[in-house]
Amino acid sequence: MGESIIRTYDLWKRYEIQGHNDAAIRGVDMDIRRGQIVALFGKSGSGKTTFLNLLAGLDVPSTGRIEIDGQDLAGLGETGRTRLRRDKLGFVFQFFNLLPTLTALENVFLALELTGGADAKPAVEALARVGLQGKEHRYPHELSGGEQQRVAIARALVKGPPIILADEPTGNLDSATGAQILALLVERCRAAGATLIMVSHALNTCDYADRILRMTDGRFVEVSSCRELTQ
């Protein structure tokens, strides 16, 4: 089944709001293997984004432990977590999150520059792999939503990170474009051997996933098929 790339141990995230304690994540023990394509479902407010933010080290757990590629996040410190995010993680968001004053190529190249790369060729190639050859010099506002998400996929994958986190990557696209982008994202991750964890509301995501997890009451429940999600 491959080696573990993400592990969590009795992970909790509690929020205190107006003196009232509430937990978004309630004791999650998770073992995700390298190269797995994982779909996360769960109703709004169930804790999916919180979970991704914890894995990314953007948020700290109240208690429990997270290991990314064998490294304990808490032991890394803020600098170490920033480096881990840069080197090991790629992100795809619902609203694309491209920098509006940079072209498609510059947006992708920026991810390389942050890791010390100076050669633009990998960025050009990454854009070609998502079908954007000839549109490298367009600005985000000159691209369709689907094309902007293609740029975001190229940006996430250009450094060859072992893990891609995607929070509703098709949530802002019409269903036909969303289906194309989903297929592309999964295909690019499989080609790169990257582990993909994606939050979705679209049931067709199940068709692409090796594992389907549903968050209920702050914990994940393994689901064997999409049909169970509609029950």
Ligand X SMILES: Nc1ncnc2c1ncn2[C@@H]1O[C@H](COP(=O)(O)OP(=O)(O)OP(=O)(O)O)[C@@H](O)[C@H]1O
The answer to the question of residue 148 lying near ligand X (CB under 6 A) is no
Count, residues near Mg ion per rule CB under 5 A: 1
User: Phi and psi for 10 in degrees, rounded to 5?
Assistant: 40, 55
Binding mask 45-64 for Mg ion (x = CB under 5 A): ----x---------------
Tokens 């509703």 correspond to 168
89 vs 112, 160, 173, 188, CA distance in Å? Answer: 13, 9, 23, 15
157 vs 4, 82, 117, 148, 153, CA distance in Å? Answer: 20, 17, 14, 14, 6
Binding segment toward ligand X, per CB under 6 A, in 40-48, 105-113, 186-194, 206-214: 40-48
The answer to the question of residue 49 lying near ligand X (CB under 6 A) is yes
The answer to the question of residue 170 lying near Mg ion (CB under 5 A) is no
- C-beta of residue 201 within 8 angstroms of C-beta of residue 168: yes
Q: Which does 75 bind (CB under 5 to 8 A by kind): ligand X, Mg ion, none?
A: none
With CB under 6 A as the contact rule, the residue among 5, 32, 47, 214 that binds ligand X is: 47
End-to-end alpha carbon distance in the chain: 29
With CB under 6 A as the contact rule, the residue among 1, 17, 118, 176 that binds ligand X is: 17
Pick the closer one to ligand X by CB: 60 or 114.
60
226 vs 59, 207, 210, 214, CA distance in Å? Answer: 30, 8, 12, 10
Minimum distance from residue 167 beta carbon to Mg ion (Å): 6
Binding mask 178-217 for ligand X (x = CB under 6 A): ----------------------------------------
With CB under 6 A as the contact rule, the residue among 32, 48, 111, 162 that binds ligand X is: 48
Helix axis angle for 145-157 and 175-192, nearest 10°, is 10
In whole angstroms, what is the distance from residue 213 CA to residue 102 CA? Answer: 36
Binding site for ligand X (CB under 6 A): 15, 17, 24, 42, 44-50
